[in-house]
Amino acid sequence: MEKKLLNLLFALCIVSLPFLFKGSKMRENLVIFFSKGVIATLFDAYVVGSKRVEYPVRPFPKIFKTNIIYDILFYPILSVIWVKLSYNDNIGKILLKSLIFSIPMSIGQWYFEKNSRLFKWKKWSPFHTFGSVNITLFIIRGFVGLLRKLDKLKNA
């Protein structure tokens, strides 16, 4: 069952990529995607290395201790979508939209931790997921804001 779920997630991620990386914001979306991939990979490596979370079923288990589908595809895609949805929002709307992503993610991970072998939480909880998702979303949003300011300075 777990392998089928991971294959489905992988397929959904691959199918969504062309829709996310078109138009005038393509460069910015690529920066978001790859930045979030780096942040998620580093964060997940720390969490797994400190034995807070395990991924019993994952792609390439002899090479990676983390689940690379989450780190380099799923979370980066969600970040691109989140930045697109909150592109012109004020801080209140940005906070609200971050909840739209972090609450379902926390509940989903809790459900799959209890009912599958995708995650094994040792020193982790839905609250950790909630916090880490929000922190990384805001890091990426801040990074995008910085890039926009630099672009404005360059073009002024």
pLDDT in tens, 84-140: 898 888 889 999 999 999 999 999 999 999 999 999 999 999 999 999 999 999 999
136-149 burial string, b = 16+ CB within 10 Å, else e? bbeebbebbeeeee
Q: Is there a domain that residue 20 lies in?
A: no
Count of domains for the chain: 1
Whether residue 32 has pLDDT greater than 90: yes
Structure-token match 């909840």, residue found:
99
Q: Is there a domain that residue 65 lies in?
A: yes
User: Which residues lie across from 24 on neighbouring strands?
Assistant: none
Q: Is there a domain that residue 17 lies in?
A: no
Q: Is there a domain that residue 22 lies in?
A: no
Percent of the residues in the chain that have a pLDDT greater than 70, as a whole number? 99
Q: Is there a domain that residue 132 lies in?
A: yes
Whether residue 156 has pLDDT greater than 80: no
User: Which residues lie across from 120 on neighbouring strands?
Assistant: 54
Torsion sign (Cα): 41, 126, 124, 98: positive
Higher pLDDT, 154 or 100: 100
d(CA 32, CA 19): 15
Helix (H) or strand (E) holding 121: strand 120-121
User: Which residues lie across from 53 on neighbouring strands?
Assistant: 121
Question: In which domain, by residue range, is 45 found?
Answer: 2-12+27-155
Q: Is there a domain that residue 21 lies in?
A: no
**Both structure tokens of 88:** 């012109």
Q: Is there a domain that residue 107 lies in?
A: yes
- pTM score of the predicted model: 0.90
Whether residue 145 has pLDDT greater than 90: no
Q: Is there a domain that residue 18 lies in?
A: no
Backbone angles phi, psi at 106, to 5 degrees: -65, -45
